Structure 1
Amino acid sequence: MIKRLVIAVILLGLVATGLVGFNLFRDRMIADFFANMPVQPLPVEVVEARATEWQPTLTAIGTVHAAQGVDLTVEAAGIVREIGFAPNTEIPEGELLLRLDSEVQRADLAAVRAQLELERTNLDRQQELQSRGVASNVTLDQSRAAFTASEAQLARAEAVIAQRELRAPFAGTIGLARVDIGQYISPGTIVTTLQDLDTMRVDFSLPEQTLPYLHVGQRLHVRIEGDERRFDGEITGIDPRVDPSSRMVSLRGRVDNPDFALTPGQFARVEIDLPTETGVIALPQTVVISSLYGDYLYVVRDNEEADEDGLIVRQVFVTTGRRSGALVEISEGVAPGDRIVATGQNRLNNRAPVTISDTLEPAQ
């Protein structure tokens, strides 16, 4: 009985040893298989680094205003009798926009005109009598002074009536009426707004460090949200004083407004052209990868350890500079002629084998 038990234990030990040995052998063979299995090259698209012309720009945000734009108000108090405009219409310079009640003032004007006619008649009579030697020079001078005073009174009465009429100071687009007929208004009450939308201005600010690069007449471009167009213009003014609290300098530019696409008060993105530079390597911003250790990209190189046609990628840390649109300046790390991986960087690691599927043209 004991002999059979010993034989069973020995057989069980042999079986267990065989299973463990088989598992170890299998794991080793699988590891050797994957270790020696060739890595399939990954297809990538590349862009060739070139020394090109670089158009550096300064960027800012600003606000669009009309070249001429005012809130219109009246000069005298009174009741609104007539509103002579429709909102959002083009009006010429001098157009009557609003009239206040002026019955009393017109009555005064009529009285002044009557007095002026009387003084004119008296002056003519005194001049005739003086020519005959009947009237004295003193009486003629008094009549002439009375006539001049009546003329001044007439001008004053006409000016008072003119103050009770609101006319367009320049041609432009009229806004909404903010008063109603029959409403009593006083000086300072805003009646409406008038904007000349043919040419617009944009106000923005830049850091004081940019002052040496700015001058009146410099080209600028304006973009607004929801419109893909670029509105071209120029700098028309630079504030001679830097704001001591923000260290910013205020600037103003003028831009054309085709189709009245720009509206006063809009948010604007401003780009200012700086002198063109040559020999600058600029690449699409998407080729640069940022990490805790710095910015890097992948450069395609020949694999000297493989066959003649083998390619690998090398991770190269670079120094980036200015940005313009979709491009970024590469000041260190890349030489003209280098092939830079443009797509598929997330699948790569250093020395990974690759094949080039397409060569892209650098973005402009």
Structure 2
Amino acid sequence: MIKRIILALFIIVVIGGGIVGFNLFRTKMIADIFANMKLPPVPVTVTEVVPGNWTPGIEAIGTASALQGTDLSTEASGIVREIYFRANDAVTQGQLLVQIDDRQEKADLDAARATAALAQTTLTRARKLQERGVQSTSTLDTAAAEAVSAEAQVAKLEAVLTMKQMNAPFGGTIGIPRVDVGQYVSPGTVYATLQDRSQMRVDFSLSEQQAALIRSGMTVSVNPEETETTVSGTIIGIDPKIDPNSRLVTVRALLPDAQGALTPGQFLRVRVNLPEESNVIALPQTVVASSLYGDSVYVVRMETPEGASGAQEVARQVFVTLGRRSADRIEIRSGLKAGDKVVNAGQNRLSSGAAVKITDEPAPAAN
């Protein structure tokens, strides 16, 4: 009985040892196969590092305004008798826009003119009598004063009549009427907005550090948020005072070629173009990968792996120091040199030391 038990245990040990040994052998063979397997090169596209000219810029947010633009308001009170414009009409300087009822003032002016004519006649008669010696000097002085007073009254009423007529102070596009015929208005009532959009301006703010880099005459590029239109202009004014609360400086640029592309009050993205610099390395921002360890790019180099018969293209991760950004490009301050080939597509499938193949179009990423 004992011999049978020992024989059974021996058989179990032999079979179990064989299974374990086979599994160990299989695992080692698989590891050797993968260790010696050569992965196919990863297809990538590259950008060659070529130092060139760089136009740095300062980005800001601005607001569009017309070269001339204002809200038109009434100077006198009264009933609106006539409105001589419609919304979005093009008006010229001096054009009559609104007429306030002025019948009473016209009647008063006629009476004042009659009084002035009588005063002038009385003055003329007094002078002739004074020359004959039959009129006193005091009577002549009184007549002269009354004539001057009457003329002043005429001038006053003429000015009042002028205030009853609302004329365009400059040419431009007028907005929606804000008053109606028959409405009573008081001085200061806004009746429309007038904007000369033939030339536009943009006002924006910069920090005091940024403001120290700009000068009048520098060019700016302006983009409305909702369109891809780009309008160029020139800085015409820099506020000489820094706002003590926001620490910002207000800057104004003239946009002479807007030609209706901008609207007063519109939100704008502004870029101030600083002087051009040469021998700067700038690459597309998409080539840079950021991680907790820093910013890096993959550079393709020719290397001869250990045991290989010849050199091959290998991607190496290189850490770089980044600088300024402009549009879709970024400045590389250190880590690269002229002639380096930087991977610009396909880097998501790379690891440092991976074999690569430079192509015109990389293979699509696996789903």
Q: Same fold (TM over 0.5)?
A: yes
Secondary structure in structure 1 of the residue aligned to 2:93 = coil
User: Can you list the C-alpha shifts for 1:111-156, whole angstroms capped at 9, x where unaligned?
Assistant: 1122122223334444555666665655444434332222211110
Given that 2:199 and 2:259 are in contact with CA atoms closer than 8 Å, whether structure 1 keeps it comes out as no
Given that 1:58 and 1:272 are in contact with CA atoms closer than 8 Å, whether structure 2 keeps it comes out as yes
Correspondence for 1:355? 357
Structure 2, unaligned runs of 5 or more: 363-367
Measured after TM superposition, the shift of residue 214 of structure 1 is 1.4
Work out the CA distance in 1 between the residues paired with 2:33 and 2:300.
Answer: 28
Correspondence for 1:88? 88
User: Can you list the C-alpha shifts for 1:283-327, whole angstroms capped at 9, x where unaligned?
Assistant: 111111111111111111111224444111111111111111111
Correspondence for 1:98? 98
Correspondence for 1:318? 320
Greater shift, 21-30 or 316-325, is seen at 21-30
User: Can you list the C-alpha shifts for 1:232-251, whole angstroms capped at 9, x where unaligned?
Assistant: 11111111111122221111
Q: How does 1:287-326 map to 2 (within 5 A)?
A: 287-305=287-305, 306-326=308-328
Given that 1:178 and 1:191 are in contact with CA atoms closer than 8 Å, whether structure 2 keeps it comes out as yes
Correspondence for 1:173? 173
Partner amino acid, structure 2, of 1:90 = A
Work out the CA distance in 2 between the residues paired with 1:65 and 1:304.
Answer: 64
- Are residues 1:57 and 2:57 paired? yes
Q: Give RMSD over aligned pairs.
A: 2.2
Correspondence for 1:117? 117
Correspondence for 1:75? 75
Given that 1:172 and 1:195 are in contact with CA atoms closer than 8 Å, whether structure 2 keeps it comes out as yes
Partner amino acid, structure 2, of 1:320 = L
- Are residues 1:339 and 2:341 paired? yes
Greater shift, 47-56 or 139-148, is seen at 139-148
Secondary structure in structure 2 of the residue aligned to 1:358 = coil
Partner amino acid, structure 2, of 1:234 = T
Measured after TM superposition, the shift of residue 21 of structure 1 is 2.6
Greater shift, 207-216 or 325-334, is seen at 207-216
Work out the CA distance in 1 between the residues paired with 2:227 and 2:89.
Answer: 24
Partner amino acid, structure 1, of 2:318 = V
Partner amino acid, structure 2, of 1:57 = G
Work out the CA distance in 2 between the residues paired with 1:153 and 1:96.
Answer: 25
Q: How does 1:6-155 map to 2 (within 5 A)?
A: 10-127=10-127, 138-155=138-155
Partner amino acid, structure 2, of 1:50 = V
Greater shift, 209-218 or 333-342, is seen at 209-218
User: Can you list the C-alpha shifts for 1:87-131, whole angstroms capped at 9, x where unaligned?
Assistant: 111100111111222221111111112212222333444455566
Given that 1:94 and 1:167 are in contact with CA atoms closer than 8 Å, whether structure 2 keeps it comes out as yes
Secondary structure in structure 1 of the residue aligned to 2:212 = helix
Work out the CA distance in 2 between the residues paired with 1:322 and 1:75.
Answer: 54
Given that 2:64 and 2:202 are in contact with CA atoms closer than 8 Å, whether structure 1 keeps it comes out as yes
Measured after TM superposition, the shift of residue 224 of structure 1 is 0.7
The alpha-carbon distance between structure 1 residues 136 and 307, as it changes in their structure 2 partners (threshold 3 A), is farther
Partner amino acid, structure 1, of 2:159 = A
User: Can you list the C-alpha shifts for 1:3-22, whole angstroms capped at 9, x where unaligned?
Assistant: 66765554454443333332
Secondary structure in structure 1 of the residue aligned to 2:360 = strand
Secondary structure in structure 1 of the residue aligned to 2:85 = coil
Given that 1:73 and 1:192 are in contact with CA atoms closer than 8 Å, whether structure 2 keeps it comes out as yes
Correspondence for 1:184? 184
Measured after TM superposition, the shift of residue 201 of structure 1 is 1.0
Partner amino acid, structure 2, of 1:283 = L
Greater shift, 254-263 or 48-57, is seen at 254-263
Given that 2:44 and 2:356 are in contact with CA atoms closer than 8 Å, whether structure 1 keeps it comes out as yes
Work out the CA distance in 2 between the residues paired with 1:223 and 1:87.
Answer: 27
Given that 1:48 and 1:359 are in contact with CA atoms closer than 8 Å, whether structure 2 keeps it comes out as no
Partner amino acid, structure 1, of 2:44 = V
What count of residue pairs does the alignment treat as equivalent?
360
Q: How does 1:206-355 map to 2 (within 5 A)?
A: 206-305=206-305, 306-355=308-357
Work out the CA distance in 1 between the residues paired with 2:178 and 2:212.
Answer: 46
Given that 2:232 and 2:257 are in contact with CA atoms closer than 8 Å, whether structure 1 keeps it comes out as no
